[in-house]
Chain A
């Protein structure tokens, strides 16, 4: 099973709302990722969790708050977003997230959540 699931598929929220995006995988992967993708642009990395610990934060504004409750789940809590935060949010997972020279990892992506901030 190489499936990463994300909910919800679509989300519309106001700038004062609080919402959460959810990602789940059951491949036994220990690294999980959040990416943001604007229209007609490639995905951009936001956060990396490795063994349930936040290992990379790409200077993302604090209105985005990631959480990894266990090795299968990844959440992204949203609060006080701006219209420019509207995008496709993609979750991915890989075996360990600690690849080194000679160690090769593939990232598997979920279908994404399309977020519109009004």
Chain B
């Protein structure tokens, strides 16, 4: 099945800093989602981005499908950005079974 690796596994930043999280996947995809899992376990949709670039406030994401990676940018980090960030892709093209990446744990220090 498709493999999804995220880097870095852990990231500790001062409030106000910028960060880039990476998601590499081993096969072609037509669906990629970024999620933020807050410290209470809630998974929150950030982006649905199979290709191209999207922006939402301080967050933006870029997926280069031909090179099999996606990037999540967080600017001017706030403590509420802390948590685990997952990317997820379908197990096969068009499949509803999502395979989650390994996750990046982000800790923002005041």
Contact = CB atoms under 8 A, between A and B. Distances in A.
B30 A111 contact: no
Contacts of A102: 30, 94
Contacts of A100: 94
A103 B100 CA distance: 19
B43 A104 contact: no
A112 B42 contact: yes
A58 B35 CA distance: 22
Q: What is the size category of the interface that chain A forms with chain B?
A: 20 to 34
B30 A101 contact: yes
A108 to B, nearest CB: 6
Contacts of A111: 40-42
Given A50-B96, A101-B30, A103-B94, 8 more contacts: A42-B102, A43-B100, A44-B100, A90-B43, A97-B96, A99-B95, A99-B96, A109-B35
A101 B93 contact: yes
Among A97, A98, A104, max chain B CB count under 10 A is at A104
A73 interface: no
Given A42-B100, A56-B97, A106 B41 contact: no
A110 B43 CA distance: 7
A99 B41 contact: no
5 contacts: A97-B96, A99-B31, A99-B95, A102-B30, A104-B50
Contacts of B103: 42
B45 interface: yes
Interface string A71-106: 000000000000000001010101001111111111
B98 interface: yes
B94 A99 contact: yes
B96 A109 contact: no
